[in-house]
């Protein structure tokens, strides 16, 4: 039956309903907090961006943030929202001062949406404005005004206070990961010299901008001291490390553009041109950029981003009357980097040797790569290892945010996941036996080993993360000793050759239940001994208890519960200042007395716990 298309079918949604029905338009993906770009962090960012804009305009040198399990609060010491406009700023779309470039010249947000989206997607939202000894407070829930307080006198300094609790109906099962919040705060501090950010009592500030940022994120001593250059509306820093791949941090008006854009593309291109011209050699771009760690920050009037979440710059110009972003970045980087290399011969010599080493390694595996690509192409045609998803049968961006791939071992486990998965967004890659321990090996093994070669081709990451076909790469193994070993071997492989997959938050471990506890009416799946005890207690006398020994024992019908909306994923994350090389050497290298002591010590702990 065809739905009648008449005047009755036409609806106009108010601003709150539109945001709540289409949250992805305003904050990107929702998520549960396990990814750094999940919606709950975007809510936090939208509020802080306003405080950063105040600082950039010369008002307020401190921002205070408090993050608990559910409630977040942000207090800045800027000018404070004009008291008569507090309700409008928090609840009327396309309302703000950033349309006036005299008030906010180079702002992050320009469309008047920001905190309105936070308000609509929060069960509890309080905004307080302090101006010249007076305070105005308004309380909201899901965008509706609960209470508007009268203007009252105050001794508080000028500024704005916002407190909110994300709506659990929208963000199901969410929790905040402190590392993600701290990383965001540090980036704000690095980009705003003179600003102090206090997050849960910890202070973050920076004197050397992007140089401090790279030093914070480097896992080990770089090959040469960080090159740090700055000019009007532009700052850059770069060095080369010891890892495979390229690592970039790019920013526009203090906004971390995690997906790059015009400025980052120009930065990468300019480095290649500057190096080629300095050495008078036509080096391959991949040899110049191999193991590079770089950062670029630009300030742009009226920036154009490719989405409301502002993770990719689309602007072509620095401002209405300014030069093109690409040309501006290209000219600055080429000129200043060339000058630096001429003045610093020691750095130039180290850089040249790094490029030559990369060139030799690339040429040594050229023939192997050609054969490996042919094998991968033939294997894909026969679909032996990869069961792809409909949304991502090519490497285009459409569907990438929702797509994931399970890396599993054994026919029974991969068979269960394949039957239970969502064929639109979930792919499966089957391993055969235990992977090779790749610690200490060169990238040559990626092409020589059939499993690794086919996995690299399935993920499309040979030339970097830009081609990654799945947003989440999920290691799905049994929760026994062999399964844990396979996890370690796969994590070692990615850290050794594709560390950006981990750094950029794409690698996860699938958590599967250890027990099923049920009676005639209710079934509970338990992921720990504590959950099992709680389930037994809640279900009454003598429930049926099943211990799952492996993924292959879980039927496809049951598997749907574990890889659907309630999927439990543990992100694989590196702690600050943790060296990948040192970690891999300790856990995956040759046996040492230190590792033996570690194993024995942990075995004792396990015994005591039992």
473-488 core/surface letters (b: 16 or more CB in 10 A; e: else): bbbbbbbeeebeebbb
Question: What would the mean pLDDT of 80-86 be, rounded to a whole number?
Answer: 92
Helix (H) or strand (E) holding 562: helix 556-562
Which one has a higher pLDDT value, 541 or 574?
Answer: 541
Q: Does pLDDT of 584 surpass 80?
A: no
> Over 90: is that where the pLDDT of 474 sits?
yes
Average pLDDT over residues 293-316: 75
| Number of Cβ atoms within 10 Å of the Cβ of 386 | 19
CATH of range 210-360; options 3.40.630.30, 1.10.520.10, 3.40.50.720, 3.30.230.10:
3.30.230.10
Residue ranges, comma separated, of all CATH 3.40.50.670 domains in the chain are 366-512+551-578
What would the DSSP string read from start to end of 271-321? HHHHHHHHHT----HHHHHTTEEEEEEE--SS--BSSTT--SB--SBSSTT
Element (H, E) at 524: strand 523-526
CA distances from 82 to 75, 117, 124, 332 (A): 16, 20, 22, 40
**Position of tokens 């981990």?**
502
Per residue in 273-292, pLDDT tens? 999 999 999 999 999 999 99
Cα 418 to Cα 377, 425, 471, 562: the distances in Å are: 22, 12, 18, 13
Angstrom distance (rounded) from CA 194 to CA 206:
7
Assigned token pair, 292:
């590079």
DSSP 225-242: PPEEEEETTEEEEEEE-S
Q: Reduce the DSSP state of residue 257 to 3 states and report it.
A: coil
Tens of pLDDT, residue by residue over 160-171, are 999 999 999 999
Q: Does the pLDDT at position 550 exceed 80? A: no
Selecting from 3.90.550.10, 3.40.50.2300, 3.40.630.10, 3.30.565.10, what CATH number does the domain 16-204 have?
3.30.565.10
Domain with CATH 3.30.230.10 in the chain: 210-360
The CA-atom distances, in angstroms, between 303 and each of 37, 138, 308, 312, 580 are 20, 31, 12, 10, 36
Question: How far, in Å, CA of 115 to CA of 60, rounded?
Answer: 19
Digit-coded pLDDT (tens) for 35-78: 888 899 989 988 998 898 889 888 999 999 999 878 899 999 99
Helix, strand, coil percentages for the chain (3-state, nearest 5): 40, 20, 40
pLDDT of residue 604: 44
State yes or no: pLDDT of 518 exceeds 50. yes
From residue 610, how far is each of 515, 529, 604, 605, 606 by CA, in Å? 18, 11, 10, 9, 6
- 321-363: per-residue pLDDT in tens? 556 888 899 999 999 999 999 999 999 999 999 999 999 988 8
Phi, psi of 197 (to 5 degrees): -110, 125
- Minimal CA–CA distance to 260: which of 225, 223, 188, 311? 311
Q: Is the pLDDT of residue 520 over 60?
A: yes
Is-contact 266 326, C-beta < 8 A? Answer: yes
pLDDT at 318: 53
Q: Give residue 567's pLDDT.
A: 87
pLDDT digits (tens, 9 = 90+) for 402-444: 899 999 987 777 888 888 999 999 999 998 888 999 988 888 8
- CATH number for 366-512+551-578 (one of 3.40.50.670, 3.30.70.20, 3.40.640.10, 3.40.50.10790): it is 3.40.50.670
Q: Where in 377-512 does DSSP place strands (E)?
A: 386-387, 404-409, 426-431, 472-476, 507-511
Say which residue, 108 or 65, is predicted with more confidence: 65
Average pLDDT across the chain, whole number: 84
> What is the pLDDT, as a whole number, of residue 7?
63
pLDDT of 2: 56
Q: Which residues of the chain does CATH 3.30.565.10 include? A: 16-204
Range with lowest mean pLDDT among 172-186, 305-319, 455-469, 546-560: 305-319
Please give the Cα distance from 487 to 489 (Å, whole number). 5
């Amino acid at each position: 039956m065809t739905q009648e298309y008449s005047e009755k079918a036409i609806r106009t949604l108010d601003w709150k309903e539109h945001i709540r029905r289409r949250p992805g338009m305003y904050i990107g993906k929702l998520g549960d907090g396990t990814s750094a770009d999940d919606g709950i962090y975007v809510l936090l960012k939208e509020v802080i961006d306003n405080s950063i804009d105040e600082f950039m305009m010369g008002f307020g040198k401190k921002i205070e943030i408090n993050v608990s399990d559910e409630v977040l609060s942000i207090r800045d010491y800027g000018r404070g929202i004009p008291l008569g406009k507090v309700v409008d700023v928090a609840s009327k779309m396309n309302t703000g001062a950033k349309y006036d470039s005299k008030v906010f010249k180079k702002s992050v947000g320009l469309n008047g949406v920001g905190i309105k989206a936070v308000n609509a997607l929060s069960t509890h939202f309080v905004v307080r404005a302090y101006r010249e000894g007076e305070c105005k407070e308004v309380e909201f829930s899901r965008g509706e005004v609960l209470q508007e307080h009268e203007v009252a006198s105050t001794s508080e300094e000028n500024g704005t206070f916002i407190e909110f609790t994300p709506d659990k109906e929208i963000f199901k099962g969410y929790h905040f990961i402190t590392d993600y919040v701290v990383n965001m705060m540090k980036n704000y501090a690095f980009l705003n010299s003179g600003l102090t950010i206090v997050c849960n009592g910890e202070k973050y500030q920076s004197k050397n901008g992007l140089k401090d940022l790279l030093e914070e994120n480097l896992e080990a001593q770089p090959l040469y001291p960080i090159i740090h250059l700055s000019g009007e509306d532009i700052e850059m820093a770069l060095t080369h490390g010891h890892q495979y791949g390229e690592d970039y941090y790019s920013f526009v008006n203090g906004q971390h553009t995690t997906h790059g854009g015009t400025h980052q593309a120009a930065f990468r291109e300019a480095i290649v041109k500057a190096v080629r011209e300095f050495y008078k050699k036509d080096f391959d771009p991949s040899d110049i950029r191999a193991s590079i760690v770089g950062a670029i920050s630009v300030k742009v009037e009226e920036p154009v981003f490719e989405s409301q979440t502002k993770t990719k710059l689309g602007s072509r110009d620095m401002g209405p009357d300014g030069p093109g972003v690409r040309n501006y970045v290209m000219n600055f980087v080429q000129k200043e980097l060339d000058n630096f290399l001429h003045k610093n011969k020691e750095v130039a010599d180290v850089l040249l040797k790094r490029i030559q080493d990369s060139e030799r390694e690339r040429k040594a595996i050229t023939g192997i790569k050609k054969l490996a690509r042919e094998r991968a192409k033939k294997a894909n045609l026969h679909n032996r290892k990869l069961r792809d998803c409909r949304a991502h049968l090519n490497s285009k961006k459409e569907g990438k945010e929702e797509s994931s791939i399970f890396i599993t071992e054994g026919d029974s486990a991969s068979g269960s996941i394949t039957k239970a998965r969502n064929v639109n967004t979930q792919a499966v890659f089957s391993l055969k036996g235990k992977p090779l321990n790749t610690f200490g090996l060169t990238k040559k093994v990626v092409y020589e080993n059939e499993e690794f070669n086919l996995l690299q081709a399935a993920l499309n990451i040979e030339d970097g993360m830009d081609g990654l076909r799945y947003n989440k790469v999920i290691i799905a193994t049994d929760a026994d000793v062999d399964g844990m070993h396979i996890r370690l071997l796969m994590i070692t492989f990615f850290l050794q050759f594709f560390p950006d997959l981990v750094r950029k938050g794409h690698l996860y471990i699938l958590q599967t239940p250890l027990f099923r506890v049920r009676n005639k009416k209710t079934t509970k799946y338990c992921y720990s001994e504590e959950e099992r005890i709680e389930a037994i207690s809640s279900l009454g006398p003598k429930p049926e208890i099943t211990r799952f020994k492996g993924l292959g024992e879980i039927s496809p019908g049951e598997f749907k519960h574990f890889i659907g909306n309630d999927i439990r994923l543990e992100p694989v994350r590196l702690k600050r200042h943790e060296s990948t090389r040192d970690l891999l050497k300790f856990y995956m290298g040759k046996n040492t007395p230190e590792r033996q002591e570690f194993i024995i010590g942990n075995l004792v702990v396990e015994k005591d716990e039992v």
